[in-house]
Amino acid sequence: MKVSYYPGCSLEGTAGSYDASVRHVCRTLGVDLHETPEWACCGSSPALKMNRLLSASLAAQNLRMVEQQGRSDVVAPCPFCFRRLKSAQDEMKNDPVFKAKVEEVIEAPVRGDVNVHNLLGFIHGEVGIGAVAERVKKPLSGLRLIPYYGCYVVKPANVTRFDDPENPTSLDDLLRGVGAEVLDWDLKTECCGAGLSLSKTDMVSDLCGRITREAEYQQADAIVVVCQLCQANLDMRQGGIQRLDKRTTQIPIVYFTQVLGLAFGISPKELGLDRHIVAPLRVLKQKGFA
């Protein structure tokens, strides 16, 4: 199965462990990732807030490069990139005048018929739970995991058109497929405040605290995420939340691809599990998975 791969900016930097685990897991699943050549920023939050045409043009340029690869599908692990690519494609499809302006900016035509997938949806829907289960070498039985989808992978529903926006289950399905115990909770699509990290730190700490406290109350071994901004935000704020609550415990925040990779027999180091602030390796060693 050959698809175009759009890693996005974060996976080239602070979310390198996400990128590493994505590549290992996809290789194991027989998904041949072809990185989009000369890809650039998708025009997510900063460009989108400042200039709609600029933002759409950045996304369109990347879509055009996927088209030039001759691929009908592109996979984006980052929920922001996924939503931006889909939004720009919809905007151009629904507004021919706007599409013409975008094509003038990038000095090239865009067909607009590429299938844009988030990685979670691609593995769940295109690869399939059965194929995932077939590759499990070390079932994660005894590992209690909380699935956290965050905002952008399923919302807004008219753009993402993936899973239930209020009660998604695709990540739950994958985690059960590799043998983990999946804990149910009400906060799986609540915002962690990542977009306000610099401007409203007190609010962000409250949002992150609510999520991590509930996960701890559920006695989860880890929170499993699909977004690199959620991972970074929840991971790095636990020290402050811990001091505020006068707690001695913290909970690891891991990518869903790292969880799949563990079940596939890929080493924790290869999956980047040694790069997190709240170390997952201690819990994994206690449970016999590292």
Dihedral sign, Cα of residue 119, residue 146, residue 225, residue 188: positive
pTM score above 0.75: yes
Cβ neighbors of 61 (< 8 A, separation 6 or more) are 40, 106, 108
E strands along the chain, which residues?
2-5, 32-35, 73-76, 115-118, 144-148, 181-182, 222-225, 253-255
The pLDDT of residue 161 is 92
pLDDT tens per residue, range 59-83: 999 999 999 999 999 999 999 999 9
Name the amino acid, one letter, at 149: Y
- Is the pLDDT at 6 greater than 80? The verdict is yes
Q: Please say whether the beta carbons of 116 and 85 come within 8 A.
A: yes
CA-based nearest residue to 81, from 34, 38, 39, 22? 39
pLDDT tens per residue, range 245-283: 777 678 999 999 999 999 999 999 999 999 999 999 999
CA-based nearest residue to 153, from 124, 126, 118? 118
pLDDT tens per residue, range 16-28: 999 999 999 999 9
- Is the pLDDT at 204 greater than 90? The verdict is no
- Is the pLDDT at 290 greater than 80? The verdict is no
pLDDT tens per residue, range 121-175: 999 999 999 999 999 999 999 999 999 999 889 999 999 999 999 999 999 999 9
Structural domains present in the chain: 2-120 (1.20.1050.140), 138-287 (3.40.50.11810)
